[in-house]
Structure 1
């Protein structure tokens, strides 16, 4: 290991870091000015790791390949090529394609991240692994996402990550939560030691002058003496007048200028190629001319890894600065010719070699953008399309590509850049495809700003209807525009807006694409058209496991909402959420969070629903997609209503309404009545519950194009019955039966039979409901099953069928307690008492405990862990821990061990009905 002067403290920290890596994994981000010694410390880390028997993987960001997806990951994992082949097939194929080792469909970013993590962890089972990355500021975005994904998951594994970047640079790595250290300048004494070791011939005045000039920068202390002193070791007079950075650049310019032309061109090739892989470079040209650069110590070749590394990035800057346009162009063309199997890198090198319009190169870049967007890297796709627009041979192609870039940017949330691109596109004549992309982008920008939905709908519908696109369903621009029109029509929520959409659908030839076909029937008006689309939805759901296009995954979830098939999407929704958390497309992440929150509400995972809704609100704000915030206000409002936080539920519902009405978002305004109806019912105010439920859909009428009406059907009928509106309740139940609501899903079957039992009040309806409640398919819908049991039990009690009443009430009590649905739980307990039920004393809550706290205390006393309790009660383990923290002092105990005795002591108290 090369001697490092004045770095004793840093070397000690490196030693401790490597110990931490060996035992539990660790991460360090190293920052510092150019030449301050970051690379030297990385080299020392590598030497110490090698001595400790670790497997070291090295890579360096390239300023000239920052637009090429996974270029750094290719460098980093190339030595593990054989290990990649031993991964499970799905992970192996994902890495093979992403790193350019083989052909195949573009894998999802999350799959690539998981594959890279699995590969590193697998190799680490043999020996601890250290990932070393230099010039982090130039790492391409997808590689930075993968690197961040790995870095956040190394704890607990013998894996370390150490990466260095220049101070003041950003790069694409999300650094939140990662430990950063800054490398400072050498002390004057350490600098003097280094200067004495490298330049012992300097005179004392020259030494002091150079120490003043270098300001503790090791690179300056090593390089400047040769150019700023004469043969007698004395400094030139003007050496202190030029900034240090310019001094250093001049040093390397001079050294590069002394190289033979063939050597300089070879170094230019290595600079632009980026990976430094000697085998790749040898495939492009002979390396015979590399020797002069090696002897001048400008580059070195590691015989073990077969990598060429520049001594310092300033050398690369000097090489590029001293090259001519034709030399740079020739090198880019040579690299492109050597990359026939890597269309993305090939396209970027061809574009770098192209000065004027070139439609062939523009087409290559456009195709590269298609691949990149499938991986979820919207910004890289926008960059490729913008460059393609610059190289377009015609004004129409330029405008079309700019418009598509604007649409992708607007859909991803980049409103300011998308607006600029859209403006640029409109300055040029748009062809039909460009017009559709432009209208699509404008509509999205409008609703994300202060524009109203009606204007956005009119703008996009006009572009679709007037466009000269031949109504070909396989036209990607038209398909994207139709999907946006679905959402705008849903937001507007009127038959007139939907009529425009259906007219356009009817003109598509030979017919709409598969997802659009299903969504057009399951999303706008599921009451009338949803059941017929079930077989096609089933076919789409069966493709999810192998689906690589994440936009399709998102849209299949949307098509599933009102047919209650979100449970089939959960695994894939989580995939989109995790991808978003690791830097993927926020629009997909938010859609997946919508779907998870809805499913959580229906199935009783209320703690998770609240946590995810809060996360989503933050994503809406940070990603420039404020329009979607209302949706997560709704998620929070229905949970607040279910848990009896009435004021909060009404406040959130009012916030939705106040935002929605001025913008014409009738769909959101209608949805806001759901939490109001639920909150009123929780408070026992069934008159208000009825008014809010009928504001969504009048009694006896299943309003067209108001899909949320299926979610308030039970609220409407129950509140009508409780307020003496028997005819209205019966009319609504009859309308539901006539529309065959039960055919939509097991959940709607449960609601239909629950409603029938309330309004028909006969043995046949009761028996049907009993059979439905016993069906395992009904168990998933925890909240509605419990509400229906409670309402049904109240009727049974009045008929003095106490045994059946208690059976339903006890099951409802358990479910309500698990969800923390306190108002419903309290009503259930009152009903139980009214049956003459006398619980064993242990079932009766001590005065200080809520029913949910008692449930948790009893399970904990039985020996279940927090995780087991959480799984049983549909809570998070953190929530269980928080409850126990409050339970202990209430029972006068300090640990779980005392719970059993504390609860047993309650048996000595007389029970009360």
Structure 2
């Protein structure tokens, strides 16, 4: 495809679609996809011209391979011309965008937060005139920018902003899963290829014409570029290609074409081209793209422009490559010494940029150099905290190669292997530690960690893996094995994770004794993990505060530390306040970071969504975790995901699905001794049985987790299923066992460990109270625990039990409020069977269900939750943090709630909500 005057050959359909895309009402996004050289850039030029004639403002950007691991590099290109608009945004969005432009020191925002700020910026910029964003070579866009562009692109419909992205079809792209509409560009047909070749090279001899058409195979770039450099001699007489290579992929053939022109330049110009190519100078037209001081700026390269290798950006005046293949060919033709010299020069240019400087310095170095290795280590540490674990593995591997002694090499390979394991590169982790084997020496700590990752994640091996870890830790303790403090910490943390999955009392006792023998060598965080993950009934006192202290500075933590502390927070029911950070972090880690940690982050997000009643979102999170685990061959995490999905299904009354997943998990986990998952499977059985009112089965499942009146040591579900055991025991006539278990919870100090345990302990005591006075007191303490809005399902169960007891003791009318609140909560949660049970109790209490004229049913579930939280005295900011909304969104919801309830102030909320409840309209 090429432009003939104002006609583009062979693309009439595509031009019509692109013109309609620009001129039809409403914004949107479109991906233009095709192979290298098929004419994507020309169509992007065309759509830009159409938009310009339609009085659109056009902004262009180009993906650069060298920047594909640098967060926000592509977004910086797009948004730089819109800098004047940023100061007109609200403070929150300005702060988010300041991170992209390096104007703020805040931690990197989440994709959603940044995308929303970008959407607001684009809407503001498009207010004077419609805006068209054109991105070429989108396959090279960095992960953060691609995620934001995909998120924004899916939300442009109906706006004055349009986005067009050009992608190579032969290279995987981060836009492949963006779910944006696509326009596919096939190769030109033979007639169109002949038309283009005739129009651009009318004098080409017939035989050469045939060679070009055969070898180009409809690729417009080859049709244009090959003929000027072909002669009869080069074309030969046997029908082979002009360079003697039959069936060589087109890009390689074109590199030869560009190579001739590159070789004709003098050394100084070739040096400039090489530096520009190695530093990722733009290829193709990129109007308005600022290079600034962060990109090498080629100079004195006019001869390359005359040779058709470079162009001059009309907006910046900088030299840019005509096509990415030019850039590739420049690097390919350079000698190793020339490339090293160019990298050394670029390292000097980027001495203030730790990551670029280290990368170029390492590429310029041949012999071991401890200083360069240390700089690469520092660069790896820097990028890990921004979701760049994949880059860190490569840099640490190179650092190991440049180490001057075996100790440094071994340590860096161990670090690379550890991070590779966190990034779900299990085979690479194994290969890295195998490359460090020294004959005659014992297995290194790094090799133990890598092999344990494989055994745990892929096989669920908690027995042999635990023994290997114990032996390695004892070896370091006793001086038999060499290991740094960092390596010892990794071994200890992995041992604790395996003990958590095993949920075996003997294993936990051995681990605790081993850690005690290490004395002060065990980090404080590891002690938090030990106490939170093992047995919160016996060791959970004070863990909530210790977790909060460790998570006080989230920005400085590595992703695996955030994940481990998040798991600790879950065990003491303090996860909700950290969910926003997990949600901001998980997307970047999935793309280029610690994928294993990211899967656990998704699990944690799901658990909090289950707790607060967002069961639709929880199910989506579970499916995402399952997909990630399956793709990365994390068999353990896949079954872990299925266990949580089974729990959600059981809560919702989808019993067939719940039991199917429960069976799969149990059949895999029980023979392997993965007690953590078998306990969840039993909890699923309990929940499913309670959902359908089968209290006998529920009781049998519950006592399989722990016996009444005690809490099985190191069984994490023992405390979590307290209410299940008590309720099923009460309904099956085992009142004595239920009472004994509720008293045991109080005696064990569960109310002091977490608000949720306080809620369910007092609820269990209320259910088993020996007289009405005690029941009322315990119910009041349950309501006062401050966990009603955080754990709506448990709260609703306690209210239902309370209402039933009141109905029998005090009469139907007194029971209606508690029963109504329970019924409403179950309905809003989607707990169908529980809702039906509560409605039946309401009818038994003399409440006739009817269409209510009250105002509460007009509230959405979200509005109702916000109203409840506001009535409890929380500020908009605090409500937003609980529900993961902005304070502005909370304010908007309350603005709609007040007139629905017929009130004008927050002070009247509690009375208004209570009045409607008393009227029986919930």
**Structure 2 unaligned residues grouped into runs of 5+:** 283-288, 870-882, 884-922
Task: State the distance in 2 between where 1:866 and 1:787 align.
Answer: 18
Question: Residue 405 of structure 1: which of 405, 416, 420 is its match?
Answer: 416
Evaluate the alpha carbon distance shift between residue 123 and residue 428 of structure 1 in structure 2; reply closer, same or farther with a 3 A threshold: farther
Cα deviation for residue 300 of structure 1 reads 1.3
Change (3 A) 1:397 1:808: same
1:819 correspondence with 2:808 = no
> In the alignment, what sits opposite 1:460?
469
**CA–CA distance in 2 between the matches of 1:467 and 1:714?**
44
User: What residue in structure 2 maps to residue 291 of structure 1?
Assistant: 302
Which one of 547, 562, 576 corresponds to residue 567 of structure 1? 576
The answer to whether residue 534 in structure 2 is matched with residue 532 in structure 1 is no
Report the Cα distance in structure 1 between the residues aligned to 2:563 and 2:667, rounded to whole angstroms: 29
1:68-467 equivalent positions in 2, closer than 5 A: 70-80=72-82, 120=122, 122-187=124-189, 190-192=192-194, 194-202=196-204, 210-211=212-213, 214-229=216-231, 237=237, 241-242=241-242, 245=250, 248-276=254-282, 287=299, 289-426=300-437, 435-467=444-476
1:161 counterpart SS class: strand
Q: Shift in Å at residue 304 of structure 1?
A: 1.3
The offset of 1:308, in angstroms, is 2.1
Q: 1:159 to 1:360 in 2, by over 3 A?
A: farther
C-alpha change, 1:830 and 1:23, in structure 2 (3 Å) is: closer
2:557 and 2:62 map into 1 onto residues whose CA distance is: 29
Question: By how many angstroms is 1:450 displaced?
Answer: 1.9
The RMSD of aligned alpha carbons is: 4.1
Aligned equivalent of 1:30, options 30, 33, 41 = 33
Match of 1:760 among 765, 769, 774: 769
Q: Identify the residue that residue 902 of structure 1 maps to in structure 2.
A: none
1:562 Cα offset (Å): 2.8
CA positional deviation for 1:775: 3.1
Q: Secondary structure at the match of 1:309?
A: strand
Task: Specify the SS of the correspondent of 2:435.
Answer: helix
State whether residues 270 and 281 of structure 1, in contact with CA within 8 Å, keep that contact through their aligned partners in structure 2. no
User: Is the 8 Å Cα contact of residues 720 and 728 (structure 1) preserved in structure 2?
Assistant: yes
Contact 1:103 1:341 in 2 (8 A): no
CA-CA distance at 1:119 after TM superposition = 5.1
For residue 794 of structure 1, the aligned residue among 785, 804, 827 is: 804
The answer to whether structure 1 residue 613 and structure 2 residue 622 are counterparts is: yes
Matched residues in 1 for 2:236 and 2:408: separation? 58
Task: Give 3-state SS (helix, strand or coil) of 2:366's partner.
Answer: coil
1:280 Cα deviation from its structure 2 partner: 5.7
Contact 1:145/1:582 (<8 A) preserved: no
Structure 1 Cα separation of the partners of residues 113 and 850 of structure 2: 53
Residue by residue over 1:415-436, the C-alpha shift from the partner in whole angstroms, topping out at 9 and shown as x without a partner, is: 33333334334467989xx944
| Deviation sequence 1:610-656 (CA, Å, 0-9, x none) | 33323332222123322123333333333443444445444433332
Aligned partners of 2:308 and 2:681: how far apart in 1? Answer: 70
- 1:224 and 1:372 map into 2 onto residues whose CA distance is 42
Residue 890 of structure 1 aligns with which residue? none
In structure 2, what is the Cα distance between the partners aligned to 1:348 and 1:719? 62
**Contact preservation (8 Å) 1:473, 1:513:** no
Secondary structure at the residue paired with 1:300? strand
For the 8 Å contact 1:110–1:579, the answer to whether it is kept is no
Q: Displacement, 1:259? A: 1.6
What is the Cα deviation at residue 279 of structure 1?
6.2
Three-state SS of the structure 2 residue aligned to 1:133 is strand
Q: After superposition, what is the alpha-carbon deviation per residue over 1:590-610, rounded to whole angstroms, capped at 9, x for unaligned?
A: 323323333343433333333
Taking a change above 3 Å as real, the CA distance of residues 405 and 106 of structure 1, as seen in their structure-2 partners, is: farther
Please point out which of 741, 751, 762 is paired with 1:742: 751
1:452-491 matches, cutoff 5 A: 452-467=461-476, 475-491=485-501
Instruction: With the length of structure 2 as denominator, give the TM-score of the two structures.
Output: 0.82
8 A contact 2:760–2:782 mirrored in 1: no
CA deviations over 1:431-468 (Å, ceiling 9, x no partner) = 9xx94443333222111122520222222233233226
8 Å CA contact 1:284, 1:334 repeated in 2: no
Q: Residues 769-848 of structure 1 correspond to what in structure 2 (within 5 A)? A: 769-775=778-784, 777-780=786-789, 781-835=791-845, 837-839=846-848, 841-842=850-851
Cα distance change on mapping 1:114 and 1:374 into 2, 3 Å: farther
Aligned to 2:892: none
**Is the deviation greater in 90-99 or in 461-470?**
90-99
**Residue 797 of structure 1, CA deviation:** 3.7
CA 1:474 to 1:603, structure 2 compared with 1: closer, same or farther past 3 Å? farther
TM-score, normalization by structure 1: 0.82
Change beyond 3 A, Cα 1:444–1:842: same
Q: In the comparison of the two structures, how many residue pairs are matched?
A: 852
CA contact (8 A) 1:278 1:307 kept: no
Structure 1 gap segments, 5+ residues each: 844-857, 877-913
Distance 1:552 1:53 in 2: 51
Q: 1: distance between equivalents of 2:560 and 2:90?
A: 25
Q: Deviation string for 1:371-430 (max 9, x for gaps)?
A: 222222332222222222333333343333333323222223233333333433446798
* Counterpart residue number, 1:895: none
Query: Residue 60 of structure 2 corresponds to which residue in structure 1?
Result: 58
CA contact (8 A) 1:108 1:548 kept: no
Determine if contact 1:671/1:708 at 8 Å carries over to the other structure: yes
Following TM superposition, by how much is the alpha carbon of 1:209 offset from its aligned partner in structure 2, in angstroms? 5.9
Stretch of structure 1 that moved more, 333-342 or 507-516 = 507-516
Quote the offset at 1:741 in angstroms: 1.5
1:161/1:478 CA distance change after superposition, 3 Å: farther
Correspondence 1:657-736 to 2 at 5 A: 657-736=666-745
C-alpha distance in 2 between matches for 1:821 and 1:147:
37
Q: CA deviation at 1:229?
A: 4.2
Distance across 2 between alignment mates of 1:113 and 1:764: 55
State how far apart, in whole Å, the 1-side matches of 2:155 and 2:578 are.
25
Q: Deviations over 1:854-906 (max 9, x none)?
A: xxxx99996667986999999x9xxxxxxxxxxxxxxxxxxxxxxxxxxxxxx
CA distance in 2, matches of 1:693, 1:15: 65
1:561 and 1:23 map into 2 onto residues whose CA distance is 45
Deviations 1:696-719 (A, max 9, x none): 122222222222111221222233
Aligned-partner SS, 1:40: helix
CA contact (8 A) 2:828 2:861 kept: no
Please state whether the residue corresponding to 1:659 is helix, strand or coil: helix
How many angstroms apart in 2 are the aligned matches of 1:106 and 1:207?
Answer: 54
Instruction: For 1:11 and 1:266, locate their aligned partners in 2 and report how far apart those are by CA, in whole Å.
Output: 37
Which stretch shifts more, 576-585 or 745-754?
A: 576-585
Which of 625, 628, 634 is 1:625 aligned to? 634
The worse-fitting range, judged by mean Cα deviation, of 683-692 and 85-94 is 85-94
SS in 1 for 2:459: coil
CA contact (8 A) 1:73 1:99 kept: no
Question: Could you tell me how far apart the structure 2 residues matched to 1:701 and 1:695 are?
Answer: 12
Cα 1:316–1:534 change in 2 (3 A) is closer
8 A contact 2:575–2:608 mirrored in 1? yes
